Amino acid sequence: MRFAAPLVHATLIKRYKRFLADVRLDTGEDVTVHVANSGAMLGTASPGMEVWLSPASNPERKLKWNWEMVVVDGHLVGVNTAHPNLIVAEAVRDGLIPELTGYDSIRREVKYGVNSRIDLLLESPSRPKCWVEVKNVHLKRGDWAEFPDAVTVRGTKHLAELRDRVAAGERAVMVYLVQRADCVGFRPAADIDPTYANALAQSMRDGVEAICYICHLSQGGIEIGGTLPLSV
C-alpha cells in the first residue's frame, strides 16, 4: 500500500474522543487531526511523540489531516486501522501470504453472520470458500505484539461467526496484521480482554486458523513482511 501524497511530520499534543488528536506541525501550527482508531492505543499516543500525517483526500473535509504513524523507540508504528484490509488484500493478490494462495477471486466486505461483513472472501470452484477476518495490531508489551488493546465485543462476535463457517464445512482464517516490525511473536492480551482470549483459543480448537504477519513501514507506504509465531 502506497500513500497517495507525501506524509507530514508533527508532534503529538494529545489524543481525545477516540477519533481526534491535536498535533503541532513542524511549522509551529497546532491542528486537530482525524484518528482512524477506536482502540485505547496503549503505548502509541503519549504527548510529545513524533507522528506522521497524511493529507485528507477530500479538500472540503473539516479535518485536513489523518494520523498514520507514530515513532515508538525509534520504530515506525502504524495506527490507522483503515489500512490493514487493503494491505492484506494486496498481499493475497500478489501471492505474499502462502496460507491464502490458490484461490481464483477475492471479494471484500461480503455480508455474513449476524449483521457482519467479512473482510475478505476467497473463492475457487475447486475448494471450499475461505472467510478471512483481518485485525489491526499495534500494541506491544515486552517483545510481544498483542491484541486487543481494549475490550472488543465485536471481535469476539467475529470469532464465533468464523467458527460457524468452519462448522458449515468451509475455511475460516483470522489474520493479525502487526503494523510494526519490532516484535518476536503474537499473543492475545488476556488481561485486557479475557473473553476474547478464551474465544480465540476455542475457535482455533474448533478449526479456525490464525496467522500473524508484520509490516514494513516507511513514509512512502506500508508493505506486508514476514510471519510471527503465535502463542495462544
CATH number for the domain spanning 197: value is 3.40.1350.60
Mark whether 99 and 71 lie in a shared domain: no
The bridge status of strand 144-147 relative to strand 185-188 is: parallel
Tens digits of per-residue pLDDT, 62-80?
999 999 999 999 999 999 9
Mark whether 73 and 92 lie in a shared domain: no
Structure confidence at residue 32 as a pLDDT band (50, 70, 90): very high
Number of domains in the chain: 2
pLDDT of amino acid 113: 81
Q: Does residue 131 belong to any structural domain of this protein?
A: yes
pLDDT of amino acid 57: 87
Q: Answer with the one of 45, 78, 111 that is the final residue of a domain.
A: 78
pLDDT of amino acid 58: 87
Q: Is the pLDDT of residue 18 over 90?
A: no
Q: Answer with the one of 61, 78, 95 that is the final residue of a domain.
A: 78
CATH of the domain at 21: 2.40.50.580
pLDDT of amino acid 115: 82
Q: Does residue 92 belong to any structural domain of this protein?
A: yes
Across the range 189-201, mean pLDDT stands at 98
pLDDT of amino acid 62: 94
pLDDT of amino acid 71: 98
pLDDT of amino acid 59: 82
Mark whether 141 and 35 lie in a shared domain: no
Of the listed ranges 29-33, 51-55, 111-115, 155-159, the least confidently predicted one is: 111-115
pLDDT of amino acid 3: 96
The DSSP annotation for the chain comes to -B-SS--EEEEEEEEETTTEEEEEETTS-EEEEE----S--TTS--TT-EEEEEE-SSTT-SS-EEEEEEEETTEEEE--TTSHHHHHHHHHHTT--GGG-S-SEEEEEEEETTTEEEEEEEEETTEEEEEEEEEEE-EEETTEEEE-SS--HHHHHHHHHHHHHHHTT-EEEEEEEES-S--SEEEE-TTT-HHHHHHHHHHHHTT-EEEEEEEEE-SSBEEEEEE--B--
Q: Does residue 2 belong to any structural domain of this protein?
A: no
Is residue 188 within 8 Å of residue 196, measured between CB atoms? yes
Q: How does the average pLDDT of the chain come out, rounded?
A: 96
Mark whether 35 and 111 lie in a shared domain: no
Q: Answer with the one of 55, 78, 101 that is the final residue of a domain.
A: 78
pLDDT of amino acid 157: 96
Which residue is listed with cell 500525517? 53
Mark whether 73 and 88 lie in a shared domain: no
Give percent of the chain with pLDDT exceeding 70: 100
pLDDT of amino acid 60: 85
pLDDT of amino acid 24: 98
Write out the residue range of the structural domain in which residue 165 sits.
84-227
Mark whether 100 and 60 lie in a shared domain: no
Mark whether 115 and 160 lie in a shared domain: yes
Round to whole Å and give the CA distance between 21 and 45. 9
Mark whether 67 and 109 lie in a shared domain: no
Q: Does residue 232 belong to any structural domain of this protein?
A: no
Is residue 21 within 8 Å of residue 65, measured between CB atoms? no
